[in-house]
Amino acid sequence: MSAKQTAIESSNMENNQPLDIRMKTRDLSVFYDDKQALFDVNLDIYKNRVTALIGPSGCGKSTFMRCLNRMNDYVDGCRITGKVRLDGFNIYKDNVDTILLRQKVGMVFQKPNPFPKSIFENVAYGPKIHKLTSSKDELEELVMKSLKRVGLWDEVSDRLSSPGTSLSGGQQQRLCIARAIATEPEVVLMDEPCSALDPIATARIEELIAELEQQYTIVIITHSMQQAERVSDYTAFFHLGKIIESGDTSKIFNDPEHQKTKDYIGGKFG
Amino acid sequence: MIKLFERRTRITVQRIKKKKSPFIYKSYSKKPKHTWLKKRKAAERRFRNAGLISILIAFLFLVSLVCNIVSSGYSAFTGTQIKLPITFQTELVEKGAYRKIVQNALLDLFQDVETRKEKRSLFMLISRNAPYELKSLIKQKPDLIGTKIDLWLPAASATSIFYKQRLLEESKRIGKINGDQAKWVTTLAQSQRTRLKFNMPFFKNGDSREAEQAGILASTIGSFFTILVCVLLAFPLGVATAIYLEEFAPRNWVTSIIEININNLAAVPSIIFGLLGLSIYLNFFGMPRSSSLVGGLVLALLILPVIVISTRNALHSVPQSIRDAAAALGATPTQVVFHHTLIYALPGVMTGVILGIARAFGETAPLLMIGMVAFIADAPQTITDPATTLPIQVFLWTNNPELGFVEKTAAAIMVLLGFMILINLCAVYVRKRFEIKW
């Protein structure tokens, strides 16, 4: 098993010499009670690149994503086999601290879910519980930096104490992204971040993703083919819990190998 | 068939001609009758009217209840006083014969009273507490000895009731007062020697055998101590139980049995909890009988399920996405609960606790079982002192047939209801003030 794995790893290293692999999964299977949701998923996620996960509803994209920061731990009856490596370390080892893991792997959800606290508190919460800052000034600076990164600073700088839930949908989602990057993660997981937003707010988030790509590794789930094409460098197509095809986005969209991928991208099912 | 078709065409043409909306009922020909539409609307109307009528009936019951209580109880907030020309004769004061002083003053006013029987009924006009008031007055101002002054002294309960009723309505409802006494009171009233004053003793005394002296202070303090013990125990226990069951406990048959039992506990007759308190706290642990400590412990058992259920509901209504968001930031499950879920659920939790308190406040039956039904004249100092609570005071007074106690009972009920309204207003305020809009 380990021999096989090293073989795969080394082959990957050879093929993608200039690119670092930040996360990779090997033979990842997920069971909800007796029902298997993911079947031996192998996927590499490259550093400072955007990886898009596409596929019809219920195909296991979200389950896969929640494996990457162990959010499935809280789901009753969920069982995981296989390996997920972050910078070479298996995050499903017993002695892995999920708290530190989630600081490194941030997550943005489908529906904007700011805490019903002030905007400042929303962003400052992560750094506070991880004790990332030593003084109040530092914390304020970090909050400002995070809000500036998502382009929200100019809009909310004068009302940092008003509740996060009072913002518009797009602003709320950007606030959630700011909250996720305030803990200085390495990987940001985004579970359909634009599905609840209008086209203008969506465009804003997409711009943001392109900016964030410089510093973070991003995994994004999307139902919009156009969005996947626009924002991502790599794409993985999921179907019924399996990865049908993965690779360069341009290749998947222009010259897919599998018939199913072709059908899905062409809108024949899903 | 053709006829029908013709008619339909005619109707359509009419409709187009009139340009009336097809959605307005009866806007076009009455035939064919839309009986189904009529039926539907009638059902709608029937249901709405039924609801209206039931609200009206419920409201009438409520109004008649409140009116009844207020009309029989409001007079208890005033007490009758009689002005007597008191002479503090030195030898009587020295002997401590204050009763004699009062009696002399009465005889001064009604000099034609001679027989023993008449004298006795005359003396009964004034409260038996009056001599003690004179005694304390002399203690404060010793220089009054040997002087003669006019003093307002409390009237006896029967006198008071007669006087109040005569003032209220000129009917001849005399109650427990004889003809002579009625005559004397009328004379006193005519000579401006009677007055109604705010009934302070009702608020600063404990229970008493004399209706005019009986008050609610001791029982209110007893209630307060009991509720204090009850909340201090039930609040942390109930909230912690709810948090564990809702946020941490695995979903299996053990937890579901616990859950079912908690829900059933809320429906157990309250007197059963009293029996439990009697056998465990009193007989097994040997705690002091009729103390507010035991009362609080029993009531805590009673409101625990209420608090657990309402807290669980409040926690349950916090969206899962908030828990996910906090967990994804790296908060531990405990941090998720105490930084987020519980904070956002707090308005609901507080509402549940306050309503639990309201229930405990009005509870009588379980306290009867642990001996809190006691004659308490002095306010309890600690939670282990014998005490009684406000609803039990009401219960005790209703056993007393004297007219003075009837109005006291109604007044105590009014105070009890007042507390209830206050508690419920608190709950409404807390809910509105701290409500979180998602």
pLDDT tens-digit series, residues B166-212: 655 555 555 567 777 878 888 888 888 888 888 888 888 888 888 88
Q: What fold is seen in the domain A46-70+97-265?
A: Rossmann fold (3.40.50)
State residue B205's pLDDT score. Answer: 85
State residue B138's pLDDT score. Answer: 84
Intervals of chain A under pLDDT 50: 1-17
Distance CA B183, CA B97 (A): 28
Query: Could you read off the pLDDT tens digit of each residue along chain B, which spans 438 residues?
Result: 566 667 776 666 666 555 556 665 554 555 556 778 888 889 999 999 999 999 999 999 999 999 999 988 888 888 888 888 888 888 888 888 888 888 888 888 888 888 888 888 888 888 888 888 888 888 888 888 888 888 888 888 888 888 877 655 555 555 567 777 878 888 888 888 888 888 888 888 888 888 888 889 999 999 999 999 999 999 999 999 999 999 998 888 999 999 999 999 888 999 999 999 999 999 999 888 889 999 999 999 999 999 999 999 999 999 999 999 999 998 999 999 999 999 999 999 999 999 899 999 999 999 998 888 888 888 888 888 889 999 999 999 988 877 788 888 999 999 999 999 999 999 899 888 888 776
Q: Which of residues 190-249 of A touch B (CB under 8 A)?
A: none
CB of A48 closer than 8 Å to CB of A217: yes
Angle value at C-alpha A214, between A203 and A49, nearest 5 degrees: 80
- Report the b/e string of A75-109 with b at 16+ CB within 10 A: eeebebebbbbbeeeebbeeeeebeebbbbbbbbb
Distance CA A220, CA A202 (A): 13
State residue B317's pLDDT score. Answer: 93
The DSSP H or E segment spanning B365 is: helix B365-369
Helices (H), A150-192: 153-156, 169-181
Chosen for mutation from A129, A187, A192 (greatest number of chain B CBs closer than 10 Å) is A129
Distance CA A204, CA B328 (A): 23
Residues of chain A positioned with their CB less than 8 A from the CB of B333? 74
Interface membership of A36 toward B (CB under 8 Å): no
Among the partner-chain residues A74, A76, A125, the one whose CB lies closest to the CB of B329 is: A125
State residue A5's pLDDT score. Answer: 45
Residues of chain B positioned with their CB less than 8 A from the CB of A101? 330
CB contact under 8 Å between A180 and B321, yes or no, is: no
Q: What confidence tens digit (pLDDT) does each residue in B283-316 have?
A: 999 888 889 999 999 999 999 999 999 999 999 9
Interface membership of B252 toward A (CB under 8 Å): no
State residue B178's pLDDT score. Answer: 72
Residues of chain A positioned with their CB less than 8 A from the CB of B338? none
Task: Give the dihedral sign, CA A64/A68/A69/A74.
Answer: positive
What domains sit in chain B, N to C, each tagged with a CATH number? 1-36 (no CATH), 78-198 (no CATH), 217-433 (1.10.3720.10)
Tokens (6 digits) for A255 = 């010259």
Cα B120 vs. chain centroid, distance in angstroms? 39
Query: Measured between CA atoms, how close is A129 to chain B, in angstroms?
Result: 7
**For residue A37, how many other CB atoms are within 10 A of its CB?**
20
Which of B401, B397, B405 has the alpha carbon at shortest distance from B160?
Answer: B405
Percentage of residues of chain B with pLDDT beyond 90: 40
Strand partners for B80: B196
CB of A82 closer than 8 Å to CB of A63: no
CB contact under 8 Å between B339 and A129, yes or no, is: yes
Residues of chain B positioned with their CB less than 8 A from the CB of A69? 328
- Domain positions in chain A: 46-70+97-265
Interface membership of B324 toward A (CB under 8 Å): yes
CB of B214 closer than 8 Å to CB of B204: no
